[in-house]
Amino acid sequence: DQIFREAKLPLWLKPYEIIATGPHCGLIEVVSDALSVSSIKEKTGANATIVDYFRQQYGKPSSKKYQRAVDNFTNSLCAYSLVCYILQIKDRHNENILIDIAGHVLHIDFGFLLSNAPGKGLKFEKAPFKLTQEMLDVMGGEGSDTFRSFRQRMARGFVALQANAEKIIILVEMMLMGQSDLPCFEGGKSLIKELKDRLFPTNQRLSLEDARRHVDGLIQQSVNNWRTRCYD
């Protein structure tokens, strides 16, 4: 979140407080004014989509309220897609993805990341991040101006993360040294190499144009991925 803010990007994340009060317990901040995608579907009606919810919640697609919600959705989807890819956050089913009152996407439950995943070693979620047809439809589809903007914002966000990669890598290395018994650190030093490879796919910082090509590749792997659909 700090990296995106310092780069003056509109990308949006929802940091929330977690305080450890003992080796196996703690306090976690409640995420207010938000519902899981699963709950939204249940409340909106049978076979309802996220677009149906947006129309019910924000009115006509041509209204300013609706367009603002779509912009919030796009900015947050960009940010969380990048974070999910870089940190390999898994278990991204519809109970772990929320939408808040302003239309932002936000993720919860980070029990699987970096090297571990649900399925006892069978890593079913192979897509770089979750990007379903429903999410594309909120942005107006793959041919829309909003989706083109999504791709551009993703590329700029990736460049910002590369510029601050050392901060991210050092933080993970510190956690690995202090908590190496946690399941997400099972890969040891190899997971650090994999993290660096995701941040630097060509072993160097990318230009904005190269970042666009790289991010477009990640998006194409993620769009309506059959593994994502099956996991839902």
Q: What is the pLDDT of residues 145-174, one digit of tens each?
A: 999 999 999 999 999 999 999 999 999 888
Computed over every residue of the chain, the mean pLDDT equals 90
Backbone torsions φ then ψ of 85, nearest 5 degrees: -70, -50
C-alpha 189/C-alpha 191 separation (Å) is 5
pLDDT at 32 over 80: yes
Q: Which of 88, 84, 95, 86 lies closest to 131, judged by CA?
A: 84
pLDDT, position 168:
93
Q: State the burial class of residue 57 (Cβ atoms within 10 Å of its Cβ: 0-12, 13-18, 19+).
A: middle
> What is the pLDDT confidence band of residue 122, given thresholds at 50, 70 and 90?
low
Calculate the alpha carbon distances from 122 to 83, 94, 112, 187, 209 in Å. 22, 20, 13, 15, 35
Q: What does the pLDDT average to over 112-126?
A: 76
Between the alpha carbon of residue 152 and those of residues 27, 84, 158, 209, 210, the distances in Å are: 37, 18, 10, 10, 12
pTM: 0.90
Kindly tell me if the per-residue pLDDT of 41 is higher than 70.
yes
Q: What tokens were used for 119?
A: 């399925």
What is the tens place of the pLDDT at every residue in 72-85?
Answer: 999 999 999 999 99
Mean predicted confidence (pLDDT) in 48-65: 93
Q: Is the dihedral of CA 208, 220, 5, 174 positive or negative?
A: negative
At 175 the pLDDT is 84
Quote the pLDDT of residue 169.
92
Count of alpha carbons within 13 angstroms of residue 106, beta-carbon side: 20
Burial 183-209 (b: 16+ CB within 10 A, else e): ebbeeeeebbeebeebbebeeeebeee
Q: What is the pLDDT of residue 231?
A: 72
pLDDT of residue 4: 96
pLDDT score, position 121 = 57
- Stronger pLDDT, 112 or 162, i.e. the higher one: 162
Q: Which residue has the tokens 């940010």?
A: 79
Pick the range with the lowest mean pLDDT from 37-41, 58-62, 122-126.
122-126
For residue 207, the 8-state DSSP code is: P
The alpha carbon of residue 187 and the mean position of all alpha carbons in its chain are separated, in whole angstroms, by 22
Write down the pLDDT at residue 120: 64
Instruction: Find the helix or strand (DSSP H, E) in which 25 lies.
Output: strand 25-28
